[in-house]
Amino acid sequence: MHMSKTEKRLLHSIKVQTAKANRDNISRTKAYEHFFRKHPEIQWSFLAGMVSRNAGWNMCDLEGIWFSRMLGLEYRRHLFLTYEEANWRIFQDAYPQLLLYHHSKRCRRPLFYLGRFFFITQFMTNAWNAFWKHGNREQLVTALIINEQNIIEKPVIKRLPFVFHSILFFLQDWMHFSTVLFPTCHGKLYGSSVSHFRNIDERIKLGKRLAGLLFSEELFPFFYEFSCRTEATGARYDYEQYRKKPRCHETPMLRKVYPVITHQISETEQWDMNRRVKKDWLIEPKWEEDPQLTEWYDHKQKQLHTAVMVKNLLFLK
């Protein structure tokens, strides 16, 4: 494909911006949320930013005062690297798509054909072109959720059996400690549990439920206020500071405990060439739970603290 000098400069600029913003969890979170403030019609970007905050909290939990007493150093490092690689891969694929949309708006013509230079799937190229033509926000969000979960399915979920088939991960999954939370500045928490994390169908359902919750007419203003007012640090104090009885700093800030990880992708799979898009992936999910999780969260924190204390007592004996 022959490219003009302008197109070459654009590709180089997108590569540089993506690499800079994909430095760590904090930079990814800020990039997603900043993009949404510029382009509020791209709802997935705000969803990705809020989910990225959760990834940061989960990472920092591993070095907090509770999980560090329950899980061994090697397992905590494997979990951190798993969170980090999954979120890095998603950003590496999605952020060039967002930037191509940004430049398409500036040029007033679709530039999504350039996605091939970033190994963007034909599935997503078609989705962006459809959005450009029809402007259906929900369909684009769903397509991006489907894409991101397929992006990590083979290289992360299937490739790391040590993490995803361990008893500790099963216990964490079963007890729903891994929960995506959307906080508000009024101290309330909303969200959904990441149950059956290894199942791609369940992860896609979760993403769609979270998107519906995040952009619900009643609650979106509160989540957006939290995003604008709260600097992402990776510590759970980011949202616990708004509780009526805020806890002390039980988890550290991400950049104080984790180095920048250098990632390398040996090959990029075009997942849509090997896997079909299931009809169920495109259907709007039904809520089967109360999204208000404030009291639930407090209960789960007590469960965690009790489990740690019991483990320590048994160890001492």
Question: 151-161: string of b/e by CB count within 10 Å (b at 16+)?
Answer: bbbebbbeebe
Which residue do the tokens 């929960």 mark? 179
The per-residue pLDDT for range 2-52, each reduced to its tens digit, is 789 999 999 999 999 999 999 999 999 999 999 999 999 999 999 999 999
CB atoms within 10 A of CB 288: 7
With beta carbons less than 8 A apart as the criterion, state whether 142 and 208 touch: yes
- Residues 144-148: contacts with CB under 8 Å, at least 24 apart: 144/44, 144/48, 144/94, 144/97, 145/44, 145/47, 145/204, 145/207, 145/208, 145/211, 146/204, 146/277, 146/281, 146/282, 147/93, 147/94, 147/121, 147/123, 148/48, 148/90, 148/93, 148/94, 148/207
Phi and psi torsions of 292, nearest 5°: -85, 110
The per-residue pLDDT for range 177-223, each reduced to its tens digit, is 568 999 999 999 999 886 777 889 999 999 999 999 999 999 999 99
Using a 10 angstrom Cβ sphere, with 0-12 exposed, 13-18 middle and 19 or more buried, the burial of residue 227 is buried
Query: For the chain, how many structural domains are there in total?
Result: 1
The per-residue pLDDT for range 51-65, each reduced to its tens digit, is 999 999 999 999 999
Find the Cα–Cα–Cα–Cα dihedral 228, 233, 239, 244, rounded to 10°: -110
Domain with 31, as residue range(s), is 5-316
Of residues 307 and 62, more confidence is placed in 62
pLDDT value at position 317? 43
With beta carbons less than 8 A apart as the criterion, state whether 32 and 48 touch: yes
Residue 298 predicted with pLDDT over 70: yes
Phi and psi torsions of 118, nearest 5°: -115, 15
